[in-house]
Chain A
């Protein structure tokens, strides 16, 4: 079953709002781990999800100015977990550098990691309305 074929009734949604401050990122990480634990993800996949959600929140905190909160919406479906991370700040988008690079930098590592760990990632930034990351991890079909 793909994402498009999943009916709304099969999706269970959990919403969390955290202050847009570094000390609250761990709460988002633990909450998403608990949600992922309700689905048959492996321990390694849950660790990937924890890192991806933390990187998304960190991107919001470092990229946006003026956002007081970050909204995290998790859609748990039978075949995937989709997480939307959004704030309502403004600021200047920093494009991640291309990889791999001969000389490593920390710039763009967060988005790079999310892309490596999740199956799909959408990263939207609007200077007027804030940062939004939508990422999806599929359950392994066996």
Chain B
């Protein structure tokens, strides 16, 4: 079981958190730490790229929800990049498709942040 977390600066003060592997009760603290660190540094517009994520459970969703709540307090937002049908299904079931902006590619997610 593994999780890869890469953080990089995008345009317009946005940051991209690229995740890969499996996000579950064991690995989600690492994702939470990366997102929390960005927010603590004052970065409130985030793209979280889930394209290389094979699996996510409720603890992973909880980390994303927590991040979204925190950035919204500062007028920011979190957009997701997700193409995996199984993961998209989980966002559908939980109703999180209505809460997050979900995009098929990183460019679209970044563009929506800027608009």
Contacts and interface: CB of A to CB of B under 8 A. Distances in A.
A47 B89 CA distance: 11
A116 interface: yes
Contacts of B65: 104-106
Contact of B57 (A23, A51, A105, A116): A51
A100 interface: yes
B34 interface: no
A22 B61 contact: no
Given A25-B24, A100-B95, A106 B62 contact: yes
A62 B88 CA distance: 25
A38 interface: no
B24 A110 contact: no
The interface residues of chain B, by DSSP majority, are classed as helix
A99 B95 contact: yes
A104 B96 contact: yes
Contacts of B99: 104
A110 B28 CA distance: 14
A54 B23 CA distance: 11
B26 A22 contact: yes
B36 interface: no
B22 interface: yes
Given A22-B25, A55-B57, A58-B59, A47 B95 contact: no
B25 A58 contact: yes
Interface string A96-113: 000110001110011011
Q: Which 8 pairs show the lowest CB-CB distances between chains A and B?
A: A106-B62, A109-B58, A22-B26, A110-B58, A22-B25, A26-B1, A58-B25, A116-B93
Interface of B: 1, 22, 24-26, 55, 57-59, 61-62, 65-66, 86, 90, 93-96, 99
